[in-house]
Amino acid sequence: MAARRTVTHLSDPGLRNILEDLRKRILNGQLPAGSRLPAVRELAATYGVAGTTIHRCLQELSAAGFLSTHGRNGTRVVDFPPHRHRFGLVLPQLPGADGVYAERHWQAKAVAAQVLSSGGDRQIEIFHGINSHPELPQHAHLLAAIAERRLAGLIIPDEVVIADWLVPADIGIPVVGVPLVAGRPAVGNLLLDLMVCIEQALAAVAKQGLRRTAVLCDVWAHHLIPQIQARAGSLGLDLPHRHIQCLPTAGPLWATQVVAAMFDCPLGQQPEALILSDEISISAVESALDSRGIGSIFQVHLANLPLPSLSRRPALRLGWDHRRYLERAMELIDAWHVEARPIGTENLPLEACD
């Protein structure tokens, strides 16, 4: 992952013009990747300025990741310049003091970004805590990276950051991941459809020959309850209202009450399978099951790969590998730079693991 850079504000208009001209020559391929720049003396003569001014410009472009200095071998454009090889991953949360996100969905994406950025020709820079408040300092960092063309494109996996201050049509680089909104053209959408995941979880239960099912959702998925019950019914599963509950991830201790609500019924009516839509609650839910002596139950967890399971019990994990999500997003951005056309919407396929 690229290190956070402090932007130097250049007050001299002449210096800024030289900097932008050199940057433009790199961006349009006049100075291609790996090419050697003219000597400082030659650049100074070309632009009619002192060598110290050229040195400052080269330092700025080096700090932005466009150039590298090789002593007597001069200054060269890097082999993998950021405007084609560095991608911005925009996340709505800030990590905690330990560097870990409260939600495993964002933690999985951050881990995937770190994995994909290690040792390859592509880098993913994470912009944390981007939301609808442009006055926050982390937004200035993102806007500076966009303005300086230090990014090949943006990967925005959540609608919460779509605000008037960040309009893809105005920023000049491709955007992948957010639902298309009128007036905000993007390269394309990569959808992680929770309902598709729950449908496959229900199908896995039916394949086991089980009938009585319970579903524990995060509260923000409550609007899916009618669809979940309809799909369960179409598969011949028994999913009464009391066996579909919402559990806030911020309050996993509520799991005791929720599990009681689902399992306080005659023995022949208790769920045979439990689908859990958010892994953050697994430990609390399994402790609640243990306290009630509920041992043998088929569990399906909606997973955030490549993070490991939090479960102490055997379980089928269904979910998305966030490495594949980011890889596909970068592929779409690369294709846009070649063809300059959007691709529409894609549903990322699910993966299963035990």
pLDDT tens-digit series, residues 290-339? 998 988 899 999 888 889 998 999 999 998 899 999 999 999 899 888 87
* Residue 166, C-beta contacts closer than 8 angstroms, at least 6 positions apart: 130, 134, 139, 142
Question: How far separated are the first and last CA of the chain, in Å rounded?
Answer: 30
Q: At what angle do helices 40-47 and 51-63 cross, to 10 degrees?
A: 110
Contact criterion met (CB below 8 Å) for 41 and 154: no
Q: How many CB atoms lie within 10 A of CB 255?
A: 23
Quote the Cα angle for 216-236-233, to 5°.
Answer: 60
Question: Which residue in the block uniquely carries the two structure tokens 């933690």?
Answer: 107
pLDDT category, 183, cuts 50, 70, 90? Answer: very low
Share of the chain above pLDDT 90, in %: 47
CATH architecture of 13-79: Orthogonal Bundle (1.10)
Q: How confident is the model at residue 281 (pLDDT cuts 50, 70, 90)?
A: confident
How is residue 230 written in tokens? 């309809």
In this predicted structure, what is the pLDDT of residue 178? Answer: 67
User: Which pLDDT score, from 0 to 100, does residue 140 have?
Assistant: 85
| Mean pLDDT for the stretch of residues 226-239 | 95
Which CATH entry fits the domain spanning 83-192+324-343: 3.10.105.10, 3.10.28.10, 3.40.50.2300, 3.40.920.10?
3.40.50.2300
Take residue 143 and report the two structure tokens written for it.
């806007």
Predicted pLDDT of residue 88:
95
Euclidean distance between CA atoms 170 and 110, whole angstroms = 26
Q: What is the pLDDT of residue 8?
A: 44
Domain ranges, ordered by start, for the chain: 13-79, 83-192+324-343, 194-321
The answer, yes or no, to whether residue 168 has pLDDT greater than 80, is no
Please give the Cα distance from 146 to 168 (Å, whole number). Answer: 11
Q: How far apart are CA 145 and CA 7, in angstroms?
A: 9
Q: Taking residues 264-291, report their average pLDDT.
A: 89
Tell me which residue has tokens 């509920």: 294
Q: How far, in Å, CA of 339 to CA of 331, rounded?
A: 12
Architecture of domain 194-321: 3-Layer(aba) Sandwich (3.40)
Enter the tokens of residue 328.
Answer: 């596909």
Compute the distance between CA of residue 155 and CA of residue 187 in angstroms, rounded to an integer: 10
3-state secondary structure 41-64: HHHHHHHCCCHHHHHHHHHHHHHC
Report the pLDDT averaged over residues 230-240: 96
**Lowest model confidence (mean pLDDT) among 8-17, 110-119, 121-130:** 8-17
pTM for this entry: 0.84
Tokens 């929770």 sit on residue: 194
Domains 83-192+324-343 and 194-321 share a fold: yes
Q: How many CA atoms lie within 13 A of 197 on its CB side?
A: 29
Rounded Cα gap, residues 21 and 18, in angstroms:
5
Render pLDDT for 189-209 as a digit per residue (tens, 0 to 9).
Answer: 787 888 889 999 999 999 999
CA triplet 185, 186, 189: central angle to 5 degrees?
130
Looking up tokens 């035990």 gives 354
